[in-house]
Chain A
Amino acid sequence: MIPRDIVKIVVFGLGIVFLLIVVYLVFTKFVQGEGGLLVETNPSGARVVIDDKDYKTPATIGQLTPGQHKITTMKEGFKERTDIVEVKKDTTTKVKLWLYSSELSPSIFKSSIAEEQKTLTDFEKLIQYLPYSNLHLNIEYLVVAKEPSIKITLYARLNRADQIESYKQQLTDYGQEALDWIKSKGVNTEKLNIIWAPKNPFKS
C-alpha cells in the first residue's frame, strides 16, 4: 500500500516536470523565434527542397527555425545544385540562385543573354539608345564615383540679363522634354541617378 502523501508528491513532481517542459519549449521557441526564406531562381519554376518539403520558385517559405538550412534546387535541363543558407530570426532572407544548363553548347549562351534582356535594369534599357541629342538637350551615360549615371545637358540660351525668365522657362521645358524622352523608352526616371547641366531645373 503506497501512502497517499507519496502519490501526491509523485503527481506533483510529474506536474512540475511537465510544466517545466512546456515552459522550456515555449521559452526556447520564443527565444529562438522563426525566420523565412524567399527563394528565387533564374530561370524560375525550379523545384526547391528545404527540410524535406517541396516548393516551386519563386517560393516564400515561412516558419523556419533560425540557423543553417540545406536547399536543393532542380529543374529539367539544368544542373542540380545544393546550397547552405542561413535563416535569420524574424527576417525573410532573399536567396537568388542561378541555374546552369546541364547541356553545354553555344545555344545556351544565346538563351542566357535573351533571359537577361527580359530583366533589363532601367540603366540597361536606356543605354541602348544613348547618347541621344537634339537642339535642346543631350543625354549620355557615364560613371561617376563608380556609380552609373545619366547626364542631361540642356541647351537653354541666355545672352542678355533681361532673358533670365525665358532662360529659366527653357530649362524647365527642355528638362521635361529629356525626362519624357527617357520615359518613352520604358524607363522610370526616378530610379536613375541624373546629373543635370546646368543644375536641376525642377529644384528651386
Chain B
Amino acid sequence: MINKLNSKNTIILVVLVVILLLLGWVFLINYQPDSKAKYGKLDRYNLSSLVNIRYLPVSVSIKTKTVLPKAISVYKIDQRYFGRAKAQEIAQRLGFQNEPTILKAKDTKTNLNWSQAGKALNINETTGQISYSNPSAPISDTSQNFLSEAELITRTEQVLKDFGFGFRDLTVDAKNIKYFTGSGEDVFETEDKSKANFVELNFNLRIAEKELFLEQPSRSPVQFLLTRAGEIFQFYYSIVEYTSDNAVYPVNTLEQITPRFVKKYGVVVSPSTAETLLDSKLIKSIVVEDIELVYVDDGVSKYLMPTYLLRGVATLGQDEILVALYVPAITERWLK
C-alpha cells in the first residue's frame, strides 16, 4: 500500500516537474524584455512627409522574409543644444564678429542667425542643428588640384574637434566622397572631378551597428562642402549627445509589420523631393521588399528612436520608382 502511494506520489511529482519545465520553456520562448524598458512609454516621433499614404488609396504589400531582432536598445538623448556660449564660439571660429539675430518661431524653435560679408550661420537652439554657408568663398581655378581625400578628411575632422564635436561613433563616409560644380546656391553633382569646384564629405553615425538617419534619409548628420583649396563652402551638423546608458525595448516582428500597419504609421521619406515624386496621388501601390532596423533622430525626440527602414517599389502612374518609408520599430504597447 505504502509502496503504491509512493509510486503514485512519484508519478504526480514527475508530472508536476514536467509541467513546470514546460511552462518555464514556454515563458522563455515568449520572453520579451519588457521589464528592462526602464524609460517607460516613449513618445512617437513626429516626421513630416510629402506623401501621406494614410489618406491615399495606396495598396501596400510586404514581400520580404528578413529576419528581425526581438529587441533593441533605446538611447536617451543627453542634450540637443550645446549652449549659447559654445554657439558664440563656433560663430567666432567661422569668422563672425557680430551678435546673432534671435528668431523665435511659432513652434518655439529658437534660431540664432549670424550674417556677415555674404556668409550665413544658423544655429537652432532647440534641435542643436547648425547650418553654415559661405557662397562668397573664393572658388579656386580648376587648374588648382583638390586637396587629397586623406587631407580633406583630416581637415574636416580637425574642424569638428575645434568646434568641440569629436563625437564617438562618428565616421567619415570615405567611399562616397562626391564632387560638385556650380556656384552660389546652384551646385550640381558631377562625375568629372576636373570640372568640379567643390568636394562633399559626409560623416555618418553608427550606434551599436545600426545607422543613424535624420528625417531626410539622404542627409548625413554631418556634411561639409569644401572648395578646391579646402575652404568651407557649406557645413551642416545635426548630432545630439546621447547617453551610453540605454534601455532594451521589444520591437515589432515581421508578422506585425502588416500592410495595414504600414498604411497607418508609414512615413514616405525618399524620394523626398516633389520633382522626383510627381504627385503623390498617383501612387497606386507600394511593394516593400527590404526591411532594416535603424535609428532615427527627428530633431525633437528625447530618444534616438529605433525605426524600421522599409525599401520597396512604388507604382506611380505607368512607372515604378524606389521608395523608402520609416515605420516605428518599438511595439505599440511601449509607445504613447
Contact = CB atoms under 8 A, between A and B. Distances in A.
Contacts of B178: 110
A128 interface: yes
A107 B218 CA distance: 6
Q: Which of A96, A107, A141 has the most CB of B within 10 A?
A: A107
Given A105-B211, A107-B218, A124-B278, 5 more contacts: A106-B202, A106-B213, A107-B220, A116-B321, A146-B281
Contact of B282 (A42, A106, A107, A146): A146
A128 B277 CA distance: 11
B290 A79 contact: yes
A79 B173 CA distance: 20
B294 interface: yes
Contacts, number: 81
Interface in B151-179: 173, 175-176, 178
Interface string A108-130: 01111111110001011001100
A98 B211 contact: no
A106 B204 contact: yes
A80 B21 CA distance: 41
B271 A116 contact: yes
A124 B277 CA distance: 8
Nearest 8 Cβ contacts at the A-B interface:
A109-B218, A107-B176, A100-B290, A106-B220, A110-B218, A109-B217, A109-B270, A104-B211
Interface stretch (B1-9, B47-55, B81-89, B311-319): B311-319
Contact of A98 (B270, B282, B294, B322): B322
A6 interface: no
A100 B289 CA distance: 9
A105 B176 contact: yes
B317 A104 contact: no
A104 B295 CA distance: 12
B279 A148 contact: yes
A113 B232 CA distance: 26
Contacts of A112: 270-271, 322
A96 B294 CA distance: 27
B270 A123 contact: no
23 contacts: A98-B320, A100-B289, A105-B173, A105-B204, A105-B220, A106-B204, A106-B213, A106-B217, A107-B176, A107-B218, A109-B217, A109-B324, A110-B178, A112-B322, A113-B270, A114-B189, A116-B276, A116-B322, A121-B317, A123-B317, A141-B279, A148-B278, A148-B282
Contacts of A111: 176
B289 A128 contact: no
A162 B309 CA distance: 66
Contact of A104 (B219, B271, B309): B309
Contacts of B319: 121
B313 A98 contact: yes
Interface of A: 42, 79, 81, 96, 98, 100, 104-107, 109-117, 121, 123-124, 127-128, 141, 143, 146-148
Nearest to A141: B279
A96 B320 contact: yes
Contacts of B217: 106, 109
A143 B281 contact: yes
B292 interface: yes
B276 A147 contact: no
B112 to A, nearest CB: 26
Contacts of B218: 106-107, 109-110, 113
A175 to B, nearest CB: 25
Contacts of B320: 96, 98
Given A109-B217, A113-B273, A143 B202 contact: no
Contacts of A110: 176, 178, 218
B213 to A, nearest CB: 7
Given A113-B270, A117-B276, A124-B275, A104 B294 contact: yes
A81 B175 CA distance: 24
Interface string B288-315: 0110101000000000000001011100
B155 to A, nearest CB: 20
B262 to A, nearest CB: 17
Interface in B254-277: 270-271, 273, 275-276
A143 B311 contact: no
